[in-house]
Structure 1
Amino acid sequence: MEGADRKAKGASDLGVRAASAVVMLAVAGAAIWLGGWVLTAFIVAVGAAGFWEFSRLASAGFTGGARLAWTVFGAVYLALAVFVLVSVSVQSISWLALIISAVIAVDVFAYFFGRSIGGPKIAPRISPSKTWAGLAGGTVGAALAVVLNSQVPRWICEWREPASGYVHGGFATGCGPYWQPQAGDYAALIGVGLLIAVVAQSGDFLESWLKRRAGVKDSSKLIPGHGGVLDRIDGLVAVSLLVGIYLLVTAPQIFGFS
């Protein structure tokens, strides 16, 4: 009877997780589709919820000056990520698509590589489920996300306007120019994928460490079956800052700097 109860509870939890995932995808998808102030408000609301959870973890895990320092760090950390995401969503939606798809790809590929290959853990005391095989999978996923985000718009344009022609360039909107990877570019793609995967998992490790300090399993119970908002955006926040640094150097006009 006890085994049957556990199976029933597992099935119930899976149903709750699936329903929550559908709602999250629907809300996020609608915000991205509508764009404009709706998308901006959605990003700010998610960031505010993430900070509320971060401050709760800091309050539970630290005292005195350390608590204040970590709370301030969380405010700056999440505010900068929100600033990057809002800026790219206004100026270049392709960068927002790249950030989101790369983080999802890291999570999905890391999960399947880690589960199927297993092997040594990266930091078992902080996050027991993270393996080096998972990091390799995340690298593959992130590299594929970079390629697809650069090539899918070109493929669509070639299908719509087959006679337009394209030249080697960078990320762009409209129908060209688009980046067309050469043979030597793929080594660089692996390096970019590794960097994104490491940064995404570093964000995950940071949150896992804070939760261990606070003695909790989830950052909150805001999302049934999934824990808190911070549990879902820990890697996204870190990768947003990485992309923000890159764009600040290569395209500062996105942030209003000349």
Structure 2
Amino acid sequence: MAGDDLAAVERKRDRLKRYMTVPFAVRTSDLPKRLASATVMAIIAGTALWLGGLWLDIFIFAVAFATFCEFAFLISRITGNWPARIAAALAGAVYIGVAAFVLAGAGNFLLVLVIGATIATDTGAYFMGRALGGPKIAPAISPSKTWAGLCGGMLAAAAWVIVWVLFMNDPEALGPGFALGISESFGNLWVAALVGGVLAIVAQVGDFFESWMKRKAGRKDSSNLIPGHGGFFDRVDGMLPVALAVAAIASIAVN
């Protein structure tokens, strides 16, 4: 038994050595492509947000439709059982559709909060995870996700929510979209940080859910439509549950 424990320790040490010998620049070699794609996506999404109204709704539901198509494709790869496929597709339609309706009706404050918290989570997790590495959260589902990355995502999302609340702390200008009930008082900024940290965890849960689907389907990405990022589902996997969580928090705050 002791020999088995020693062998396990040595295997972990060997894996750690192999990881540490890979330069940080190599571990982030896909960053230029990811940044270029992210810039294009940000311009398109920003334009839709700026135009607002019908154009914003069209953008949100177009992304939702593309996401559902990728969801259905993964389901088709996971199981050949048609009743199971139909049931899963209906569940996915509800999951993605409700999140899309929440985003379409959220108002600018909550919409940008959701988008910003998701992006902040991904960015913080990417850089801290790549820089520090360390223990994996669930290597059988998503080998690249580390506890360090999760902490980085939580810190980044908390910072984003605080900054956004401070920047947009004018309920009269914001209208009904400002529904979290957070002001710029010191105590409430701690609440804002807590909300950001919780949203980061929720985003990671959504990420793990999609990773689990891709692993079951034998796919690395949901599609290859976005260079460096995979498909639409890969980009909004964390945003979907975050939208639902923000809607729930806003509903509680109003009531």
- TM-score of the superposed pair, with normalisation by structure 1: 0.79
* Alignment deviations for residues 26-79 of structure 1 (CA, whole Å, 9 cap, x no partner): 211110111010001000000000000000001111232322222111100000
1:71 aligned residue: 89
The gaps in structure 2 that reach 5 residues or longer are 1-27, 176-180
Q: How does 1:2-17 map to 2 (within 5 A)?
A: 17=34
1:87 aligned residue: 105
State the alpha-carbon separation in 2 of the partners of residues 220 and 40 from structure 1.
23
Aligned: 1:134 with 2:133: no
Taking a change above 3 Å as real, the CA distance of residues 173 and 63 of structure 1, as seen in their structure-2 partners, is farther
* TM-fit CA distance, 1:251: 3.8
1:30 aligned residue: 47
Taking a change above 3 Å as real, the CA distance of residues 187 and 249 of structure 1, as seen in their structure-2 partners, is closer
Q: Over aligned residue pairs, what C-alpha RMSD do you find? A: 2.5
- TM-score of the superposed pair, with normalisation by structure 2: 0.79
* TM-fit CA distance, 1:178: 7.5
Taking a change above 3 Å as real, the CA distance of residues 68 and 107 of structure 1, as seen in their structure-2 partners, is same
Provide the aligned length of Structure 1 versus Structure 2: 223
Taking a change above 3 Å as real, the CA distance of residues 119 and 204 of structure 1, as seen in their structure-2 partners, is same
Q: How does 1:1-258 map to 2 (within 5 A)?
A: 17-64=34-81, 65-88=83-106, 92-154=107-169, 172-174=171-173, 179-182=183-186, 184-185=187-188, 187-251=190-254
* Alignment deviations for residues 83-111 of structure 1 (CA, whole Å, 9 cap, x no partner): 100011xxx21111111111111111111
State the alpha-carbon separation in 2 of the partners of residues 24 and 194 from structure 1.
25
Letter in structure 1 aligned against 2:183: W
State the alpha-carbon separation in 2 of the partners of residues 124 and 251 from structure 1.
39
Taking a change above 3 Å as real, the CA distance of residues 143 and 63 of structure 1, as seen in their structure-2 partners, is same
Taking a change above 3 Å as real, the CA distance of residues 32 and 117 of structure 1, as seen in their structure-2 partners, is same
* TM-fit CA distance, 1:188: 3.3
Q: Does structure 1 conserve the Cα–Cα contact (< 8 Å) formed by 2:72 and 2:89?
A: yes
State the alpha-carbon separation in 1 of the partners of residues 160 and 172 from structure 2.
17
* TM-fit CA distance, 1:14: 6.2
The gaps in structure 1 that reach 5 residues or longer are 1-9, 155-170, 253-258
2:11 aligned residue: none
Aligned identity (percent) is 48
* TM-fit CA distance, 1:250: 3.4
Letter in structure 2 aligned against 1:212: R
